[in-house]
Amino acid sequence: MSKTRIPGSNPSVPSLGDMACVRTRSHHEQNRPDRRKRGDGLAEPHSSLLTSVRPILLTLASGLLYGLAFPPHRITVVAWLALAPLLLALRETSWRGAVGLGWLWSMLAAWSVGEWMPAAVETYYLQSRAIGYGVFLVVATLMVAPYHIGFALAYRGLAKHWRSALPLLAAAAWIGAELLRGRLFTGTPFFIGNPWALLGYSQAGVLPMLQVADLAGVYGVSFPIAALNAGLVEAWLAIRGRGLPRRPLAVALGAAALPSLLVWGYGIHALSGTAQPEPAGPTARVAVIQGNVDVGAFWSPERYGQNLGLYLELTREAQSRAQPDIVVWPESAATFFLEEEPGYRLQIARALTESGAELLLGAPRAAANSRPPYFNSVYLLAPNGRVSARYDKQLLVPFAEYFPFGGIEFLRRRFGRVREFTAGPANAALPTGVGPAGVLICNEAMLPEVASQRVEVGATWLVSPSNDTWVPSADFAELQFDIVALRAIEQRRFLIRASTSGPSAIVDPFGRIRARSQPFTPAVVEGEIRALDGRTLYSRVGDLFAVGCLAVAMLSLASRASRSDRRHAQG
């Protein structure tokens, strides 16, 4: 259709009809979804159901994959991509959505590596399974979720402002969250560090990946895994046409892969034998006794002295076969007050006389006053049954070994008098004939800073007596062992683990398992260890690497946020 110009009108001025068209077009353009590609990969808002559900599905997939990397499946390679769906989901959601996804991932990941908890609560506290599920929900929400929610928010902020460096910064933020989860509340009245199933522990058995622990602890193992996960997200977004341009993408992928290559190379070098720990004495024979007997959910007179016969029988068996220099019994192996029972000590001495071995054993201790506090102790006995030294556990588990809220009855076990403990004082390593021994009772061995403290005061080998019969799960037992075994690499010390129900094991300074038992069976584990001297970098500087990661992530967020604020102010 031809247009007729009104005489005298100015052709450069639009007509009323043209203006209406312009207004209508502008209105549609403003309300049409913006489909322009964004270099940061953050999604524009959409209203479709699929778009809103997709981040949830990705988060669920991530949580399930995370669990596959740990016992019982142990598909260690899965850890290298398990976080990627979560990171992608965080790129497609709002700030409020990131909080929800962080909580959801925490619940699913915690369940995938801790489904044993409700049954353990039922056994340990003598409560219903329903209470056990409630305890799991509370523990995961308070001790896991806050740190992953913080990471979710940090990652979304970093992705909004950073490009090629994002994989390294995302890994730094992840390490910061792991550090806070593992250490923030350790030693406080109500909580203790919760390093259960940190990302780096998924690589148990992959010895080249684990050797970096003598420099940076478990966080040095987690970092390259997190960085590669973040790099996979950048590659996926680029394939989908929503990612970085070619050159920044190449830099980002190189940054994501470099930590893995460095860690692997360091591990190969460490395992080559060119740098061996300095010996501080000759080799010694060790026998670890695993009784696999229940010490009871509560203290009762009927159990006083129970199980001693089984431990003596297994000790005699080890004596006749291996002639050990030292025998190790687990935590709570003795259900009696050792210092008050010379008759029991005499029986023990008779079992040790054949080889003249010393004995480390766990037993309760009562202080000498009218209303004694009780201690969870490990004793060193000479071959004649005399008490040579003692260690009292220092870091107790809230609501298990002591009760911050004593008035809440359902949180208390029926301990009677001897299962609610008092924290012991700091002391030196136990002076065994093998060399000074650093004792890590049960959960203390999960805390790497405690192992460093033991080495600092002179420990030349580490021993971890543990009571695990209250958790009826082989998955728990295997993952707990993986966590404890890394202490040997961090400190470059031999480590002995003596568990009531297993696995009990001898681990060398490079994380190699020299001997071990299977869970839930009586066993004797035999092998050789050696007192070692010197201190690793990790033993000296602790979690400096992880603290640095946390600082870098926070500074990166703050610097970009301040620049963005200045740009908006100028605009």
Examine the residue annotation and report whether 331 is marked as an active-site residue of this protein: yes
- Given 442, 449, 478, 490, the catalytic residue: 442
Hey, what are 14's tokens? 């639009």
- Please state, in angstroms and rounded to a whole number, the distance separating the CA atoms of residues 480 and 489: 16
Beta bridge pairs of residue 380: 360, 389
User: What is 351-403 written as a DSSP string?
Assistant: HHTTTT-EEEEEEEEE-SSSS--EEEEEEEE-TTS-EEEEEE--SPPBTTTB-
Helix or strand (DSSP H, E) at 451 = helix 448-456
Amino acid identity for residue 104 in this structure: L
Query: CA angle, corner 350, sides to 347 and 355, nearest 5?
Result: 145
Q: How does 494-509 read in b/e, with b if 16+ C-beta sit within 10 Å?
A: bbbbbbbbbbbbbbbb
Q: Could you say which of 331, 420, 444, 478 is catalytic?
A: 331
DSSP character string of 504-562: -EEE-TTS-EEEE--SSS-EEEEEEEEEEE---HHHHHTTHHHHHHHHHHHHHHHHHHH
Q: Nearest Cα to 235, choosing from 87, 389, 387, 66?
A: 87
Angle, vertex CA 118, rays to CA 113 and CA 122, nearest 5: 145
Cα dist from 547 to 147, 194, 447, 448, whole Å: 15, 17, 16, 14
Residue found by looking up tokens 């580490």 in the block: 462
Q: Are 172 and 552 in contact (CB under 8 A)?
A: yes
Tokens 């029991």: give the residue: 344
Catalytic residue among 393, 420, 444, 549: 393
Q: Which of 421, 399, 416 is nearest to 332 (CA)?
A: 421
Q: Is 492:534 a contact under the CB 8 Å cutoff?
A: yes
Per the annotation, the verdict on 393 as an active-site residue is yes
Active-site positions read 331, 393, 442
